[in-house]
């Protein structure tokens, strides 16, 4: 006989070039036994279970043989099967003669399976006391090789049980218990110690963020899938960026795994613009940023917030979102946020109004306005802003201690100035002008008003002075302010 592949899955058994049988499925007409048959060739074989399964499906032909061979039959049993068949032949016809020797051709051997466990493992899984002697007797009766050293068992699985049948220690427990008899098990409630689990910092931060966004700002929490919605994004003019793809995806429109949640939220906003003129959504979900050195997805957990409004201008909405982020940082980390100009890297980001969110001089996310092209396709009259924060980076930031300062018994002094801010100059740049000034008496600064025209951008800053030891004089406050105003003038921020 000669084995030949007729395609990538189906194996034929041939006599020279003449097909005799389809391996593992059915024999041919030329190999059947008829009334005048006097000579037999006994062949006992096993075949690759996967190949047989694929062939029988491909040929739409299931037989008794294929049903058996699909189950990974033990190749060690082929010689035993021939010996048994010869014995049966001699039992019913003592005149038969075996005229040739046995030829054994091995394509492959299954690996020998050895399992090690102890008596405590059996007791823990069964919940009852079964003696070592009974365990040994049970397994040996089933054909297993058993070595016992104290309470430690080393069990060798027989070949006819090692082909996808008994492969792990739990399978041994099944063999022991089914022979012991499930009816012999005492019925009682399982006891297991339950210990409180401390909530991790990441999960704790997530819960706090959700409470703040829902209770204080009335945002809606949403949940979405991790892939990019190809058709919906294309309708918004957002490019589906190249990233990890799903193997065997059922739909090409959901093939690519997302690397940002913001495009997903813009699709969700588009679906809900007719229900409200002003709303905000947020999600804490996962994105994938390529593959690591082990070819595994690099997953990141992100907080994404998107605000939509037909009644607020873009500036108002933008600062609302900024204030939300500042509150999250101050309430959870007790720290202020910083913002730095960023260059857009995604097609949905505004080419100018995009900023990096900073905490402790570390980048944790971005805040921006949607690209005008995308905004028009969402709603021509609406304002849309977004922010995305890396939850792990936010959690890694050290939480500042809460420090209590006793209020001063002496009256404070507030000093307001309005300065014209040159283009591309930010409040962070201005704040450097009063660092180190008024040491001990300058307690804080904040923006209290803004004024904008086509040519002028002005902000009003309030400086808060106080002392815990004495009443401040107008002269010493004025001296500090004169120094600050001089420093502001050096960078082009002059009094209005």
The pLDDT of 144-155, averaged and rounded, is: 93
Taking each helix axis from N to C terminus, what angle separates 201-211 and 314-332, rounded to the nearest 10 degrees? 140
Per-residue pLDDT at 149 = 93
Least confident of 4-8, 57-61, 87-91, 199-203: 4-8
What is the homologous superfamily of the domain 201-396 according to CATH? Answer: Bira Bifunctional Protein; Domain 2 (3.30.930.10)
Per-residue pLDDT at 47 = 85
- Using CB atoms within 10 A of its CB, is residue 47 exposed (0-12), middle (13-18) or buried (19+)? buried
Per-residue pLDDT at 129 = 85
Domain boundaries, the chain: 2-92, 114-184, 201-396, 413-495
| CATH architecture, domain defined by 2-92 | 3-Layer(bba) Sandwich (3.50)
Q: What is the pLDDT of residues 405-421, one digit of tens each?
A: 888 899 999 999 999 99
> Which residues sit opposite 420 in a β-bridge?
458, 494
Instruction: Report if pTM > 0.75.
Output: no
Residue 291 dihedral angles phi and psi, to the nearest 5°: -120, 150
Burial readout 234-252 (b: 16 or more C-beta within 10 A, e: otherwise)? eebebebeebbeeeeeeee
Per-residue pLDDT at 176 = 92
Fold of 413-495: Alpha-Beta Plaits (3.30.70)
- Domain 114-184 CATH (choose: 3.40.120.10, 3.30.56.10, 3.90.1150.10, 3.40.980.10): 3.30.56.10
Q: What is the pLDDT of residues 350-407, one digit of tens each?
A: 998 899 999 998 999 999 999 999 999 999 999 999 999 999 999 999 999 988 888 8
Q: What is the pLDDT of residues 18-71, one digit of tens each?
A: 888 888 888 877 778 888 888 888 888 888 888 888 888 888 888 998 888 888
The pLDDT of 412-441, averaged and rounded, is: 88
The pLDDT of 109-122, averaged and rounded, is: 89
Per-residue pLDDT at 392 = 95
Gap between the Cα atoms of 340 and 34, Å rounded: 91
Q: Helix, strand, or coil here: 29?
A: helix
Q: Closest Cα partner for 308 from 405, 236, 395, 219?
A: 219
The pLDDT of 197-220, averaged and rounded, is: 94
The pLDDT of residue 454 is above 50 = yes
Per-residue pLDDT at 75 = 83
Q: 269 or 11: which carries more pLDDT confidence?
A: 269
Per-residue pLDDT at 8 = 53
Per-residue pLDDT at 1 = 45
Q: 8 or 282: which carries more pLDDT confidence?
A: 282
**Mean predicted lDDT score pLDDT of the chain:** 89
The pLDDT of residue 304 is above 50 = yes
The pLDDT of residue 3 is above 80 = no
The pLDDT of residue 4 is above 50 = no
CA separation, residue 425 to residues 293, 321, 431 (Å): 42, 21, 11
């Amino acid at each position: 006989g000669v084995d030949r592949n007729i395609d990538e899955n189906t194996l034929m058994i041939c006599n020279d070039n003449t097909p005799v049988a389809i391996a593992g499925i059915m024999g041919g007409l030329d190999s059947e036994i008829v009334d005048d048959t006097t000579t037999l060739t006994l062949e006992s074989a096993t075949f690759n279970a996967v190949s047989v399964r694929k062939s029988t499906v491909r040929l739409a032909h299931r037989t008794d043989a294929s049903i058996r061979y699909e189950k990974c039959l033990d190749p060690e049993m082929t010689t035993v099967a021939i010996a048994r068949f010869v014995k049966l032949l001699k039992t019913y016809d003592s005149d038969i003669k075996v005229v040739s020797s046995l030829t054994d051709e091995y394509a492959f051997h299954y690996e020998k399976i050895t399992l090690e466990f102890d008596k405590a493992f059996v007791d823990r899984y069964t919940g009852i006391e079964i003696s070592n002697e009974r365990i040994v007797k049970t397994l040996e009766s089933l054909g297993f090789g058993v070595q016992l050293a104290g309470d430690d068992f080393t069990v060798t699985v027989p070949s006819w049980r090692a082909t996808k049948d008994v492969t792990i220690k739990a399978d041994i427990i099944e063999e022991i218990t089914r022979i012991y008899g499930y009816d012999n098990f005492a019925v009682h409630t399982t006891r297991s110690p339950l210990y409180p689990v401390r909530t991790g910092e990441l999960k704790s931060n997530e819960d706090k963020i959700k409470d703040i966004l829902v209770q204080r700002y009335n945002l809606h929490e949403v949940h979405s899938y991790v892939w990019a919605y190809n058709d919906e994004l294309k309708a918004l003019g957002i490019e589906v960026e190249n990233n990890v793809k799903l193997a065997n995806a059922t739909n090409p429109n959901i093939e690519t795994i997302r690397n940002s949640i913001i495009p997903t939220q813009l699709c969700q906003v588009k679906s809900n613009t007719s229900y409200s003129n002003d709303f905000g959504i947020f999600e804490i979900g996962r994105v994938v940023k390529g593959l690591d050195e082990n070819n595994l997805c690099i997953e990141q957990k992100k907080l994404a917030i998107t605000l939509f409004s037909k009644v607020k201008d873009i500036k108002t909405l933008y600062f609302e979102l900024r204030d939300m982020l500042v509150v999250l940082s101050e309430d959870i980390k007790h720290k202020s946020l910083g913002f730095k100009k960023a260059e857009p890297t995604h097609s949905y980001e505004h080419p100018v109004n995009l900023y990096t969110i900073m905490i402790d001089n570390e980048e944790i996310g971005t805040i921006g306005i949607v690209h005008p092209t995308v905004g028009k396709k969402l709603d021509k009259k609406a304002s849309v802003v977004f922010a995305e924060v890396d939850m792990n980076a936010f959690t890694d930031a050290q939480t500042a201690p809460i420090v209590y300062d006793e209020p001063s018994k002496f009256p404070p002094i507030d000093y307001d100035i309005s300065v014209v801010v040159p283009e591309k100059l930010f409040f962070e740049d201005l704040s450097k002008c009063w660092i180190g000034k008024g040491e001990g008496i300058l307690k804080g600064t904040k923006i209290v008003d803004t004024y904008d025209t086509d040519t002028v951008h002005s902000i009003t800053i309030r400086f808060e002075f106080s002392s815990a030891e004495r009443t401040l004089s107008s002269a010493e406050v004025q001296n500090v302010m004169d120094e600050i105003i001089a420093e502001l003038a050096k960078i082009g921020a002059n009094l209005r």
